[in-house]
Amino acid sequence: MAEYDLVVRGGEVATGFGTARCDIGIRRGRIVALAERLTDAAAALDAGGLLVLPGGVDSHCHIEEPARGGTAGEPAVTVSEESFLTASTSAFAGGTTSVVCFVPQWKGEGILPRLADYERRAARGMLDYSFHQIITDPTEAVLEREVPEIVARGIRSLKVFLTYEPLHLSDEDYIKVLVTARRNGCLVTVHCENYAAIKWRTGALLAAGLTAPKYHAWSRPPVVEREATHRAIALAELVDQPIQVFHVSCAEAAEEIARAQARGLKVWGETCPQYLTLTAGDMDRPGFAGAAFMCSPSPRSPEEQGRVWEMIRRGTLDVVSSDHCGFSMGGDRGKAVNGRDAGFDAIPNGIPGLAARLPILFSEGVSKGRITLDDFVRLTATNPARLMGLAPRKGMIAVGADADLVLWDPRKKVTITNALMQHAIDYTPYEGLEVTGWPVATVRRGEVVMRDGVVQAEPGTGRFLPRGPYAMVQPRGVLENGFDAAPPRG
């Protein structure tokens, strides 16, 4: 019997702390050797001329998430169109091998019924997965009995929304969740926008007949995000509970995070490719096309994008997730159908981006010289894995880690099309974007699941990833020997 089930040969292996030209020996789904010439292998994958990156870890994805408005007893149920099967194909096509997605809680219910349903859905896919538990109704039963139970099962993060009807929590309820998280050793992830402010501005815009998609951005300017970010952090400080601020879109909010970090608080910030490539101007496209770019917070201005890049370079924002949230433009529940008559507030929020995340960040970041390859590895794999308690099993190329790898051609030029995204959604907001750098093969736990864009994996082979407590993310640009590896600014 061969020593290795698979050897990945001759690639430039990106560790997040520099690269090394070596082979990767894989046995039973794990990396067992990193060395110059590994020979005794049942199969080999040639990585000559390519980078070998850790499989992407996308810690913010909405997949097959059943949503229900209002109160218990309300019958309408919508499931975001992406199933775990189609999301797996899309993720592998884009070089991502693990996701953390969201178990909903419907108001008036506990969390366990939805968890059981969601576990069944997730088990049908091919991606490895874990869950954030959304809390919309923090009753005593949920906080005292159900949260300890899900934590014991390896779900180590609670997600709260400070806006959205009917999901948003009052400050009082948010504090209750923080206290529960602290008792149970969970991270809290927070959608930071001010509910009352958005409600007020949306009402005024609609009353004035300003209903087009572009007014979504008018309904939630940066101050709305900054205020909620400040409050989320202040209350977390009060309770002494670590939080991650999701989808930071602007410098004002990132500066709140930077101040908290400078004071030693355990506050982390995530951003997404949409805040680096799309603008509020995209929502002003002719007809109803602007709805395709509508997500919350809204994409901002080109100047704001520059500021978000700077916050990534400084390390304030240390995770780049997709916030993949799949609603087609057409179809019964599509963005166009929902919003055209009723106005921008009826358009389903969110945009798809699971497959586009790595190519866009590589191209706009590494290829254009805004970030280093090490930064890229940490932002897309190592940091999310550490923060989500998935490391060292996920997010790094190291002996003992799962053999989740992406063979990456850093020079390949591709124009993004919806077909290349291989998702269930009828559009990509990145259509026509030219990128330099593209995944040519994806390996999940030692199995080649994508080669040259062709995804081949058995449905039902994705594994649930029970998580440990969060670990601090690795600081950007600082090598373990203490030298600052950041490129010179300017």
Q: How far is the CB of 429 from ligand URP (least distance, A)?
A: 12
Interface pattern 59-78 for ligand URP (x via CB under 6 A): ---x----------------
Residue 219, contacted partner among Zn ion, ligand URP, none, CB below 5-8 A by kind = none
Contacts of 58 (CB under 8 A, 6+ apart): 91, 96, 98, 99, 100, 321, 322, 324, 354, 357, 384
Residue 349, contacted partner among ligand URP, Zn ion, none, CB below 5-8 A by kind = ligand URP
Q: Cα separation of 274 and 353, whole Å?
A: 8
Q: How far is the CB of 273 from ligand URP (least distance, A)?
A: 12
Q: How many residues bind ligand URP (CB under 6 A)?
A: 9
| Contact between residue 97 and residue 442 where contact means Cβ atoms under 8 Å apart | yes
Return the number of the residue (253 or 449) whose C-beta is nearest Zn ion. 253
Return the number of the residue (296 or 305) whose C-beta is nearest ligand URP. 296
Q: Cα separation of 324 and 387, whole Å?
A: 19
Residue 114, contacted partner among ligand URP, Zn ion, none, CB below 5-8 A by kind = none
The residue among 211, 214, 199, 353 whose CA lies nearest residue 273 is 353
Contacts of 106 (CB under 8 A, 6+ apart): 68, 72, 114, 136, 137
Contacts of 211 (CB under 8 A, 6+ apart): 205, 342, 343, 344
* Count of CB atoms situated within 10 Å of the CB of 139: 18
Return the number of the residue (25 or 353) whose C-beta is nearest ligand URP. 353
The token pair at 468 is: 């440990």
Q: How far is the CB of 34 from ligand URP (least distance, A)?
A: 37
Residues 187-216 that bind ligand URP (CB under 6 A): 191
DSSP characters over 462-488: --B-------PPPPTTB-TTS-B-PPP
Determine if 338 is a binding residue for ligand URP (CB under 6 A).
no
Return the number of the residue (191 or 463) whose C-beta is nearest ligand URP. 191
| Contact between residue 398 and residue 482 where contact means Cβ atoms under 8 Å apart | no
Beta bridge partner(s), residue 96 = 56
List, in sequence order, the alpha helices (H) in 328-470. 335-342, 357-361, 373-377, 383-387, 418-421
Q: How far is the CB of 168 from ligand URP (least distance, A)?
A: 11
- Options 323, 345, 404, 447; binder of Zn ion; rule CB under 5 A: 323
- Options 68, 121, 176, 191; binder of Zn ion; rule CB under 5 A: 191
- Options 11, 269, 350, 437; binder of ligand URP; rule CB under 6 A: 350
Residues 216-245 that bind ligand URP (CB under 6 A): none
Residue 386, contacted partner among Zn ion, ligand URP, none, CB below 5-8 A by kind = none
Interface pattern 242-261 for ligand URP (x via CB under 6 A): -----x--------------
Residue nearest to ligand URP (CB): 350
Q: Cα separation of 327 and 392, whole Å?
A: 34
Interface pattern 292-331 for ligand URP (x via CB under 6 A): ---xx--------------------------x-x------
Q: How far is the CB of 395 from Zn ion (least distance, A)?
A: 20
Q: Cα separation of 420 and 399, whole Å?
A: 32
What single-letter amino acid sits at 257? Answer: I
The residues binding ligand URP (CB under 6 A) are: 62, 191, 247, 295-296, 323, 325, 349-350
